Amino acid sequence: MSGPSEMPGASPVLQREVVVRQRGPAAPMRWVADWADVQEPVLLPLFHTILDRLAPPPGTRHLDIGCGTGLLLRIAAECGLHVAGTDPAEALLDLARARLPSARLEAGPAERLPFADRSFDLVTMLHAADDDADSGPALAEARRVAAPGGAILFAVRKLPAGIVSAIAPASHRTTPATGGPQGARTSRLETLRALAAEAKLVIAGAFDVDCRWHYPDEQTALRGLGASRGAMRAAEAIGWNAVDAAHREALLPFRHDDGSYRIATVTRCLIARR
């Protein structure tokens, strides 16, 4: 199922914003560019593995909840799927629409999807674990829009504990939803299983994806780690300088002699059916 896909780039306006790297009012624009240029491309192995494992045939109706700038959807479209997406960040969707001008891409929360019942054969939500409060309603909505027998894939990431804890208090997390010790990920995984059961979803399978986040230098690593909603929340509380300082310290164990950084991550993907 893997198909050719260019490494995505931001528009010239976004690229200039990154060079200036302003704080304050320009911070949301910085986050969009950093996600599109740095962090989303490191997820390419995850995206290709998901499509390889699920092997949806051409013509499959695919919804990606939390689609960001649409890289997963673009790969799916290259494989012949009919794609649609939602994301709460309109700025991310602007880039997604440029990539996928014919796709239906809607801004809004995962708990209130603007699609009819039973509209999709495949629903992906790779950020289901990002917020405990939203996971239950989001899974229920995913079930509503999934066709009978359709697949719903959601995921839990495991990052090194130091990367997660660097900004966890300032990002208002009550649990280390995307990383921490193995026990923390297991706890979060069981929570998602329970929420899926409440949403009347049946877990049909699971698989792990090893994904190594590679950054050529410290500046790129800071851009990548800062391109998350958790980092945005932390920056609102303590400022971008403090977020970068926390990430800079957390990155030290992952620095190689050539100045690059490599962070090993594992994503557990669960496949549910309605």
Residue identified by tokens 């090893």 is: 210
CB atoms within 10 A of CB 148: 8
Q: What pLDDT shows up at residue 218?
A: 98
Strands, sheet with 261-273, edge to edge from the N-terminal-most edge strand: 104-107, 82-87, 61-65, 120-125, 146-158, 261-273, 202-215
CA distance 156 to 186: 9
How confident is the model at residue 153, as a pLDDT? 96
Give the start-end residues of each E strand in the chain.
Answer: 61-65, 82-87, 104-107, 120-125, 146-158, 202-215, 261-273
Cα angle value 62/65/69 (rounded, 5°): 95
pTM of the model: 0.82
- Please write the tens of the pLDDT for every residue from 153-197: 998 888 888 887 887 766 555 444 444 444 445 566 787 788 788
pLDDT of res. 170: 63
Please state, in angstroms and as integers, the Cα–Cα distance from residue 147 to each residue in 29, 110, 116, 233, following that order: 36, 17, 10, 35
Q: What pLDDT does 191 receive? A: 75
Alpha carbons 52 and 216: distance in angstroms, whole number: 28
Residue 251 pLDDT: 97
| Residue ranges for the chain with pLDDT beneath 50 | 2-26, 132-133, 174-184
pLDDT at 47: 97
Share of the chain above pLDDT 90, in %: 59
Q: Return d(Cα 163, Cα 105) in angstroms, integer.
A: 32
